[in-house]
Amino acid sequence: MTPPTPYYLIDERKLLGNLETIDHLRRRSGAKCVLALKCFAAWVVFPLMRRFMDGSTSSSLYEVRLGREKFGKEVHAFSVAWKRDEVRALRPLADKIIFNSLSQLDALEREARGLSIGLRVNPGVSFSHFDLADPARRHSRLGVRGRRALFAAAPRLDGVMFHYNCENDDFVHFRDTLDRIARDYAPLLEQLDWVSLGGGFHFTRPGYPVDAFADTLRRFADRFGVQVYLEPGEAAVTGAAELVTTVLDVVHNETDIAIVDASTEAHMLDLLIYRQSARIEAAGRGRCVVTIAGRSCLAGDVFGAYRFPRKLRPGDTVRFADAAGYTLVKKNWFNGLPMPAIVVRRLNGALRTVRRFGYADYLRSLS
């Protein structure tokens, strides 16, 4: 039984396809893969994910805690800027801490005693379709740029993290930039135990040369004698969830506009941030063109324009694909709209509603 729409539907069988690719990569490359919780933190499916991944990585103390409590295995703690009491609090929870700057390393290194210490490096190269998400953009605050001070800090470090890719499905670009990193940072890399190459690799996409990717990672690890980590978010969960909605009304203003019982701004925020359309698998080349829009007050609350074989009518179901990564973690209470429930399709096909949200949750989110 499914609840009334809207709801997010996480499909474990689809998730499993990505996880099996991750597992193959781990075995062939020797790299460890930790889930980036910033991308996906729906912990109901962590028992499945943990069988194929090595732990989690985080952007805050709460994600560190979630990783320890719900994912287990290794916990990496990164933040763009830590507070002292947060470092104290995460010490019993995390295995590694990764500072974003030399000044944070100086200020908090002692507080982090007992943890494996890492530093984020900004290699000045990146792959991103969006300036907003480009860690090497001009004036980026993400990671240490200057190499001289970085190399001087090497004896205080166990590892470094380079996160410089975003939706990178271009293997040749990855290989070339890794060669450049190996060349530019060799004196540092030779002194470390581990190197994280961050997330942003789309290696679970059909057609990606996973074996060549794995062999490149293994060569890098062997050359420097380091444990390589990847921090997949999107690659781990791509295609694994939908946002299921119902058409409430169809209005006409030069084109048909179907209004569904959800909203881009509240329930698929990245569409607005990156100015993209939602993907609907059932849409294609039909005769009828319809714009699908959300029911918030925002004039531009539009999921996209699609073709269907027939006109949409109130009561029709619309399923938006790609609702796993950066979607559930960003949902919000804009307009006081009903929050989509969370439903899981288990590996055996059974559907389970694992969370419903109501007025009390809305009330508690403010004061």
Ligand X SMILES: Cc1ncc(COP(=O)(O)O)c(C=O)c1O
**How is residue 37 annotated by DSSP?**
T
- Determine contact, residues 35/55, Cβ cutoff 8 Å: yes
Residue 115: Cβ within 10 Å count:
22
Phi, psi of 330 (to 5 degrees): -110, 5
Nearer to ligand X, 41 or 318 (CB): 41
Min dist CB 39 to ligand X, Å, is: 4
219-248 footprint of ligand X as x/- string (CB under 6 A): ------------xxxxx-------------
Helix ranges (DSSP H) in the chain: 12-29, 46-49, 61-66, 84-90, 102-108, 147-152, 171-189, 210-224, 234-237, 264-267, 269-273, 359-364
Token look-up 């998400």 returns 133
Min dist CB 198 to ligand X, Å, is: 4
- Determine contact, residues 307/287, Cβ cutoff 8 Å: yes
Taking CA atoms, 180 is separated from 79, 174, 338, in Å, by: 26, 10, 49
Nearer to ligand X, 231 or 261 (CB): 231
Q: Which of 123, 198, 239, 294 binds ligand X (CB under 6 A)?
A: 198
Nearer to ligand X, 68 or 163 (CB): 163
Site for ligand X in 267-286 (CB under 6 A): none
Number of shown-chain residues binding ligand X (CB under 6 A): 15
Q: Which of 32, 76, 163, 345 binds ligand X (CB under 6 A)?
A: 163
The interface region with ligand X, picked from 193-201, 257-265, 269-277, 288-296 by CB under 6 A, is: 193-201
- Could you say whether residue 39 binds ligand X (CB under 6 A)? yes
Phi-psi region of 308 (alpha: psi -120 to 50; beta: other; left: phi over 0): beta
- Could you say whether residue 36 binds ligand X (CB under 6 A)? yes
Residues that bind ligand X (CB under 6 A): 36, 38-39, 78, 163, 166, 198-200, 231-235, 325
